Structure 1
Amino acid sequence: MSPTYYEDVSPSTRTLAPRAWYAVSDAKRLPLNGVWAFRLSSTADSFGTEFTEDGYDSAGWDEITVPGHWVLQGHGAPAYTNVRYPFPVDPPRVPDENPTGDHRCVFDLPADWPGGGETVLRFDGVESCARVWLNGQELGTFQGSRLPHEFGVTSALRPGRNVLAVRVHQWSAGSYLEDQDMWWLPGIFRDVTLLHRPEGSVDDYTVHSSYDHTSGEGTLRVDCRPQGRVTVPELGIDAATGESVTLPVEPWTAETPRLYDALLTTAGETVPFRIGFRTVLIEDGQLKVNGKRILFRGVNRHEFHPEHGRALDEATMRLDVQLMKRHNINAVRTSHCPPHPAFLDLCDEFGLWVVDECDLETHGFSELGWQGNPVDDERWTPALRDRAERMVERDKNHPSVVIWSLGNECGSGAGLSAMSRWIRERDPSRPVHYENDQKCPDSDLYSRMYASHDEVELIGQRKEPPLEDAAADARRRALPFVLCEYAHAMGNGPGGLSEYQRLFETYERCQGGFVWEWIDHGLLRHTDDGRAYFAYGGDFGEEVHDGNFVCDGLLLPDRTPSPGLTEFAKVIEPVRIEPGSPGSHGSSATVLVRNLYDFAGLSHLDFEWSCQVQGETVAGGPLAVPPLRPGESAAVPLPPAPGSAGSERTAHADARTAPQPGGGPSRSGETLWTVRAVLARDSPWAAKGHTVAWGQLSGAPAPAGGRPGLRGATGPARHEGESITLGPAVFDAASGVLTRLGPLALTGPRLDVWRAPTDNDNGAPWQPETRNGPLWRRHGLHRMRHRTDTVAAGADGLLVRTRVAPAGTGLGLRTAYRWSTSGGRLRLAVTVEPEGGWDFPLPRLGVRLGVPAALGDVTWYGGGPGEAYPDTRAASMTGLWHSTVDNMQTPYVRPQENGARADVRWAELRDTSDASGGTGPHGPGLRIEADTHRFWLTARRWTSEELDAAEHTTDLVAGETVWVNLDHAQHGIGSQSCGPGVLPAHQLTVAPAEFALVFSIPD
């Protein structure tokens, strides 16, 4: 029995040859997007084809928006898998349970539609197989979801009323080639357009626009069927197609995206297009553009919207590009399929290096030892070639596209080689990328995913372990290296970005990488009572799914930048601002400014300095930085510190006597310089003044806690019934736990080592021996018990000795709390001595304190404004910050540890509500100061245990307490949800520890 069309490995029937995409010409076009009639069946053959006829009555059908996915419009449900196919693996067969959507669009052909020439019907994206009719005439079928397909419809089209009918099957032979890590979302999700092709119109065209960096000249040749002319008014070009023109030009790069407007004119059509002159080649083992090595500061980007799936409008695409540019990202890999072509127009315009990836992944065959893998089965080679051709022909004229990628995670096979050969012959001007075959037979780059820092360093040194095949090994060692995926941005993280970036900047072979990935793919849903949350795998009743692994982006689903994106932006800054030489009294310190751009100077930036004392800005102004070419640096003197000899007074008081926030006494304090590089003028992606880079350096230091500690102070502790009093504090006499400070009721503080494991703590299932989250649970750190051994009240304060330990083990932490008081302030000194064989790190080490829920306003001096952890703290700027407890939370799609602020010197929690609903101090607050070491501050309205138990943000319900963690140390974050774990330098090794805090009621 011959296969049905949706189980046929042939890619299409009766579709036109692929060609270049362009959005505008003077030829007529009719968008068919809008509301279509729709019905869904559970199998591929539940209904006949009567619905394709003109007289068919579809009055009982539903309506659906095209572009769109039917599973996001109330018909069926989405499903998420990462690797496994959600249907039996029996290529090319698919199950009888094959959701099938019939679509029907009735449209009127405009009365002025030209009568001559031809008319073409174009589909820019349909998942996963379509059969098409126009006015009852079958046009053909196609597969290849994220690729364009066109039909000639001249004979079927008629004046006036027309009926377009499309049957779309969720599963097809093509589904075996589309096992990408994303939601399965069937439907017509990109534009449908009717195009008039006049006699003599542009059948296809190819722009060749190279740049010679030695002469500064560009060479332009436009090949076209049929012949025509090319004009570029700005360059004075008026040439026949096929003719080469060489002349001085400004080159296109991602940093300087210079485009020239041009017109292509044939006998029947005029097409406007844009030209970017640039040359891409691999030379001396490096990937170069316009003769220079480039460094990818990139991200992987799936197309996604939390309500519309892969049906993106131009405004959303534009926002993506603007957000990338605002966060110093210069490259995007279109994982794992070609994007909407309009996205590439935006990359040309704004400036992004693009790795354009084919619509191909067969990852699910890894579960079968790659047996039956289509890329190594010659029956599938025509379909693979077809996908490569449709991508290259569609996108070939974009200067932003600098690399073609064959696909993702397909193992190895002859089909990939066939694709690579065709691409290299068709377009020798760009290298070809493929990661999954470590011998790199089909790739011009050595590409890896999630290689550890140590391995990247070996690769940078060209000392990686050799391949068995000496010739293949020698070839690979000569290739430039990229991490096509690294730094898995799932939940809280990724950690270790700074260390990766140092390797990229140290070894010329290491040319950067692409963080996985751009955005969390959480689908917007609401609880029964109307509260919004984002759903992930398993939330739609899927039999096979991979949970929240679909939420691993630098943006939250609503496109709010995560702390991970803020961190990445800081790590990859194109201008490095670092401390130079320190200044002595009366002399200026210097700041070292380095231009890390590959092509651009710094003329588009202004530099500003400011001086802060205890977080208060006391002086500032412009900073003169000399012109620096790419790679150059300069030591720039800063103005003298305010108050020093030779300095000019500002409108502020002497920096050394700046007033304290909260009404405290004037005092000397820590002095810091902050230098920023900001946009000197408005750009298409950010306004003037947008910060591109920043750095801080120390001036006059101060004690870690600001005011002197209480180590020499004494005050008697007295028993009063079931309580003990010590100055303004009241303790439970039995447990020694603090219950009140002045008028403020408190719970704790007590030693705390638990955090709600992050996705990176939980790790990937294929790393069972090194995942910290399961290890911590196995040892019971989520249910630590506290035993009070002694409570000793004396003339010099209160000493409480305890043992904190998990059930079922011999592990323990001997903990002593030493309390003293003076002048209304209460000092806590904590010592921790581990017992037993602690051969794994702790999540955190500090104390947890409960304060009344009304204390929801937080001011702190330390790192901010956002969260930070030991290996995600590059973006933490020392300053005086203010927030609410609610705004200190990061709403990760799956709740987990979040919200810590680093290097805190002091913090105040206050009640800012009053009876009239306004704001202002109301009731007692709490001030906490570091006395021996700076601390990590976390404040939330639920416990770590409640955070751990939550599956979605709507599971978190505020209680009557704000829980404050004051941590001496934190374990790092790492990237082990898919990549390497926490580097040794950022691990919280169990060891004896001492730290001290001072508590008081602020004025």
Structure 2
Amino acid sequence: MSFRTTADYVEDVSPGSGALPARAWYASSDAKALSLNGSWRFRLSATVDAEDDSFAEEGYDAGGWAEVTVPGHWVLQGDGAFGSPIYTNHLYPFPVDPPHVPTENPTGDHLRVFDLPADWPADGGAVLRFDGVESCARLWLNGTELGEFKGSRLAHEFAVGHLLKPGGNVLAVRVHQWSAGSYLEDQDQWWLPGIFRDVTLLHRPAGSVGDFFVHASYDHTTGEGTLRVDSDAEGRVTVPGLDIDVATGESVTVAVEPWTAETPKLYDGVLATEGERVPLRIGFRTVALEDGLIKVNGKAVLFKGVNRHEWHPEKGRALDLETMREDVLLMKRHNLNAVRTSHYPPHPAFLDLCDEYGLWVIDECDLETHGFTEQDWRDNPVDDDRWTPALLDRAERMVERDKNHPSVVFWSLGNEAGTGRGLTAMAEWIHGRDPERLVHYEGDWNCRDTDVYSRMYAFHDEVEKIGQQLDGGTRGRRALPFIQCEYGHAMGNGPGGLADYQELFEKYERLQGGFIWEWIDHGVKHAELGYAYGGDFGEELHDGNFVCDGLVFPDRTPSPGLIEYKKVIEPVHIEGDGANGIVRITNKQDFADLSALAFEWSCQVDGETVESGSLAVPALAPGESAEVKLPEPPVDGRGGERQWTVRALLADDTVWAPKDHVVAWGQFAAGARPLPSFPASDRPAAATDRITLGPAEFDPRTGALRSIGGVAVGAAPRLDVWRAPTDNDDGAEWQTDTRYGMLWRTLGLHRMRHRLVSVEAGDDALTVRTRVAPAAREVGLDTVYRWTSDGERLRLTVSVTPEGDWTVPLPRLGVRFGLPEADRVEWFGGGPGEAYPDTSTASMVGRWQSTVDGLQTPYVRPQENGARADVRWVELGGLRIEGDPEFWFTARRWTTEQLEAARHRTDLTAGDTVWVNLDHGQHGIGSQSCGPGPLPQYFLKAEPAEFSFVFSTTG
């Protein structure tokens, strides 16, 4: 037997050869299936031709080979013996010379020997299906070559029934990391070669279902659904719940409950042909572009979405069903209603979950050529007719595989691939094949090929102009709805400004929401670093931690960004007039009323709930509002700060969350906060080695605080304006004029010097005057610390006056000090998690507890984190600190400077001091790592300020 040894197919722009036509993905009720997942023999070569094809022959001895798990990526197995991951955002990690790829092309030979089950039918055919292989595969079964294919995130099937034998079947697969297909897969993710999705052998009985297309529309004016199932093989369609029993190809109209993301009603049915029964899950819904809006079932929808790459910190893109389910449940529990499958079709089981639990889906093709921006899109494959068959193959494989999912409302041509004739050909084919859905592509700003005007990272002011129809553009574009397919870049601490975007989306009809970038941090589990990111594997080119930009951390723990987003997009708006005891409830859903929710009220005094109860709220229809009277406030003699909290909870268990899960909440004041005050009745007493004032001791030379009531202060409070820059502070490299992290460092705010002007012990106060300024600059901050006491408590009033021409905002403004011991923390203020000026919507005022370590937010790359907002008082380390006005509070076991220097969390080592920041102000966060910085109202301007803190002991 002879085998072809040439590897020309690797650089061939065609999609491959030998594969069967694309078809719908489904699981048969009775046709046998054999999973070939598991342990495979594996041999890695440095080039495509380092080894010949003899390994595919029957009887080849691969006993000396290594083993890898399929599905899997070989670079994430073998403890580094099989190479390493590579991360780039858009740069190709090989020379841009299409369709050529380097000779140094890691090639993995895979072998799997399998027997057919004893009950495997002897008649009929069989199909071998690969659901995902990166990036090019050539395969053989029992010594016979089947073909080769590209299109990493797409299914490919091969007819193999004539080659099977009862035992000792040898499946050989040669996988190349780089191929011509790699030029179409430059998708801001780890480059991870391997067979990373399922491999399955499917029996195909005579008369079995080949391909089928479920058409299930809904008429919102009559409440009826129309079903027609087109099938390659004739048969019958039954839907017992609707008393439907019709032949394939026939239409039937009956009264139905429609499918929406809020009410994902699915009807179980069966497609039965002569040789097979296929279960159907049918959702009736109609997607249309009407009146310049995206409408489903006659109603305009507002997407509250997220972009989702497939990711697992140990398995890469090899996700199991439970991990996919975990993603969907987290999304539903955090009020998301939509997913864009960036930037390729997901594992098909994920779409099953979207159907079941209810998520709108933009299904995106396996296409991105972003690296061609480096040469101004010259030689871009999407505008080269030679590549058009490959582009059409990818579009066809996506649409045919996923066409029976009611959750899919948009087909997306791909992402960041420029424009060109190939994209137009894809759009025309999709519109022709499936006119019942809409077509999306962000790069088409003139909307020649798309049904929606889509942008990414448009700033707030531009989004408002688009909403007002003042954005210009072609006439066709002006007639289309607008979505932000990417916004709110969730890299590190952030994203900020989400509430401001949502306000615009809800204000202007044309704006139909958007999709946060992105779902999960793509950190790779690492024994020494915790989680690795770009550059940690010695990549020649990489984009650092730009791959860690998700709403959940690599272990799928929700980040503060997800908690904020949940609050911003909550489906019920709750606002109140505490003084008059009125709460206004608004249903912000598109389809569902409020009958699935129960409401409860509670009244707090100084953050502690003193009384609570249920609240009767009508089952408001979408868009409706109602004012509801709250009960009389409870009588409480403490006279503290009073507020109402109203929550919307699930009234019963659902498939995605249990009863009493909090869907939405609102808080409003019922009385003003009493500010901490006392007469300055004590006076400083000076001695040789100390100054005493009330419960405190000070250094007589510097005026530095040493202790309060026996609680040692390891480092005295002094003005602090620096924070360890966030990814959003540092900004994107193309936004040099507003990258405040860089501007702050240039000014020297990370190395401020403190000059003592005077220490004055007066009749009623100890006053310390200083000037705080960066070296080499003439700007500064005239800072006065005024200490007073009533004998038991100590008050610090800080007055700050800027000097010189301050052209940039400050990172923070407050005081920092050190305590030798502190662990348990309790505070009255915003919580339970961190918040900053433009990320504080989800900060709920209450009484909270934590440890110092528990205050930290575990961003993959360490940066400013952990601030609690609107703090009235905090207790830690034996001290109670009250603020006038409210303040931001942060505590950590390392300095800001150590935090800034760390590249990974494992770089942070707890010291002997707990460093505490009490901040009068913080600069906003924004999402400038790939979007806009903070809006002007969240700037911390260098301007005169005065703020106070009252210290007392808790012992």
Compute the TM-score of the two structures, normalised by the length of structure 2: 0.98
Separation in 1, partners of 2:720, 2:196: 50
- Specify the code of the residue in structure 2 equivalent to 1:807: A
What is the CA distance between 1:496 and its match in structure 2? 0.3
Structure 1 residues 897-946: Cα deviation after superposition (integer angstroms, max 9, x where no partner): 00000010000004xxxxxxxxxxxxxx011001x310100011111110
- TM-superposed deviation, 1:701: 1.7
Deviation at 1:823, TM superposition (A): 3.2
Q: What's the counterpart of residue 645 of structure 2? A: 674
For 1:933, what is the secondary structure of its paired residue?
Answer: strand
| SS across alignment from 1:456 | helix
8 Å contact 1:79–1:184 — kept in the other structure? yes
Aligned residue for 2:317, secondary structure, equals coil
**Superposition pairs of residues 551-590 of structure 1, within 5 angstroms:** 551-580=548-577, 582-583=579-580, 589-590=581-582
Match of 2:839 in 1: 872
| Corresponding residue to 1:323 among 330, 338, 343 | 330
CA distance in 1, matches of 2:744, 2:690: 35
Q: Which residue of 2 aligns with 1:629?
A: 621
Match of 2:29 among 25, 28, 33: 25
CA displacement, residues 721-756 of structure 1 (integer Å, 9 cap, x when unaligned): 232221221112222111111211111110000000
> How far is the alpha carbon of 1:109 from its aligned partner?
1.2
Measured after TM superposition, the shift of residue 580 of structure 1 is 3.6
| Distance in 1 between residues matched to 2:935 and 2:893, nearest whole Å | 31
Q: Tell me what 2:881 maps to.
A: 928
Aligned match of 1:838 in 785, 793, 806? 806
- Over the residues paired in the alignment, what is the CA RMSD in angstroms? 1.0
Correspondence for 2:920: 968
Question: Is 1:618 aligned to 2:618, yes or no?
Answer: no
Task: Give the 3-state SS of the residue equivalent to 1:106 in structure 2.
Answer: strand
- The answer to whether the 8 A contact 1:609-1:673 is kept is yes
- Please report how far the alpha carbon of residue 777 of structure 1 lies from its aligned counterpart in structure 2 after TM superposition: 0.5
- 1:727 match: 694
Q: Residue type of the partner of 2:124?
A: G
Q: Partner letter of residue 260 of structure 2?
A: T
1:348 to 331, 355, 371: 355
Question: 1:266-345 residue pairs with structure 2 within 5 A?
Answer: 266-345=273-352
Provide the rounded CA distance (Å) in 1 between the counterparts of 2:597 and 2:630: 18
Structure 1: distance between partners of 2:135 and 2:274:
37
**Which of these residues, 837, 844, 856, is aligned with residue 823 of structure 2?**
856
Cα distance in 2 for partners of 1:204, 1:669 equals 69
Give 3-state SS (helix, strand or coil) of 2:113's partner: strand
Give the structure 1 partner of residue 495 of structure 2.
494
Total equivalences in the alignment: 947
Cα distance in 2 between the residues matched to 1:2 and 1:72: 29
Residues of 1 paired with 2:793 and 2:27: CA distance? 69
Deviation per residue, 1:275-319 (Å, 9 max, x gap): 000000000000000000000000000000000000000000000
User: Could you give the per-residue CA deviations for residues 329-385 of structure 1, whole angstroms, max 9, x where no partner exists?
Assistant: 000000000000000000000000000000000000001100000000000000000
Deviations 1:677-710 (A, max 9, x none): 0001111111110000000111122224xxx413
1:220-275 Cα shifts (integer Å, max 9, x gaps): 00000111000000000000000000010000000000000000000000000100
Matched, 1:993 2:945: yes
Q: Deviations over 1:932-983 (max 9, x none)?
A: 3101000111111100000000000000111110000110000100000110
In the TM superposition, residue 117 of structure 1 has moved relative to its aligned partner by 1.3
Correspondences of 1:177-192 after superposition (within 5 Å): 177-192=184-199
Give the CA deviation at 1:2.
Answer: 9.4
Supply the distance in 1 between the matched residues of 2:525 and 2:698 (Cα, whole angstroms). 47
Which residue in the other structure is 1:608 paired with?
600
* Percent of aligned positions that are identical: 69
Deviation of 1:855 (Å): 1.1
* SS of residue paired to 2:819: strand
What is the DSSP-based 3-state SS (H/G/I as helix, E as strand, rest coil) of the residue aligned with 2:61?
A: coil
Q: Does 1:37 align with 2:29?
A: no
| Counterpart in the other structure of 1:646 | none
Work out whether residues 679 and 691 of structure 1, in 8 Å CA contact, stay in contact via their aligned partners in 2. yes
Matched ranges for 1:396-795 at <5 A: 396-464=403-471, 466-467=472-473, 473-527=474-528, 533-580=530-577, 582-583=579-580, 589-643=581-635, 654=636, 656-657=637-638, 668-704=639-675, 708-710=676-678, 712-746=679-713, 747-795=715-763
Partners of 2:214 and 2:13 lie apart in 1 by 32
- After TM superposition, give the deviation of residue 3 of structure 1 in Å: 7.2
| Letter aligned with residue 4 of structure 1 | D
Structure 1 residues without counterparts, runs of 5 or longer: 468-472, 584-588, 644-653, 658-667, 911-924
Mapped contact 1:604–1:679 kept (Cα < 8 A)? yes
1:70 is matched by which residue type in structure 2?
W
**Partner-residue secondary structure (3-state), 2:682:** coil
Partner of 1:934: helix, strand, or coil?
strand
In 1: Cα distance, 2:833 partner to 2:420 partner: 46
Distance 1:582 1:257 in 2: 40
Preserved CA contact (<8 Å) 2:682 2:791? no
Report if the CA contact (8 A) 2:47-2:104 is conserved. Answer: yes
1:917 alignment partner in structure 2? none
Task: Kindly provide the CA deviation profile for residues 90-120 of structure 1, in whole angstroms up to 9, marking residues without a partner as x.
Answer: 0000001100000000101122211211111
Whole-angstrom CA distance in 1 between matches of 2:161 and 2:874: 73
8 Å Cα contact 1:580/1:635 also seen in 2: no
- What's the offset of the Cα at 1:849? 1.2
Displacement after TM superposition at 1:581 (Å):
6.6
Structure 2 unmatched ranges of 5 or more:
none
Q: What residue identity is the alignment partner of 2:543?
A: D
Cα drift, residue 23 of structure 1 = 2.6
Counterpart contact for 1:863–1:901, Cα < 8 Å: yes
SS in 1 for 2:329: helix
Question: Does the Cα contact within 8 Å between 1:714 and 1:795 map onto a contact in 2?
Answer: no
In 1, Cα distance between the equivalents of 2:444 and 2:278?
41
CA deviations 1:367-426 (Å, max 9, x no partner) are 110000000000000000000000000000000000000000000000000000000000
1:65 and 2:72 matched: no
| Contact map agreement 1:718 1:794 (CA 8 A) in 2 | no
Separation of aligned partners in 2, 1:438 and 1:602: 38
Cα drift, residue 24 of structure 1: 3.5
Matches within 5 A, 1:47-126: 47-74=51-78, 75-126=82-133
The more displaced of 110-119 and 545-554 is 110-119
Amino acid at match of 1:541: G
Greater displacement, 319-328 / 435-444: 435-444
Deviation string 1:794-824 (CA, Å, 9 cap, x unpaired) is 2212000000011110010000000011131
The TM-score with structure 1 as length reference comes to: 0.94
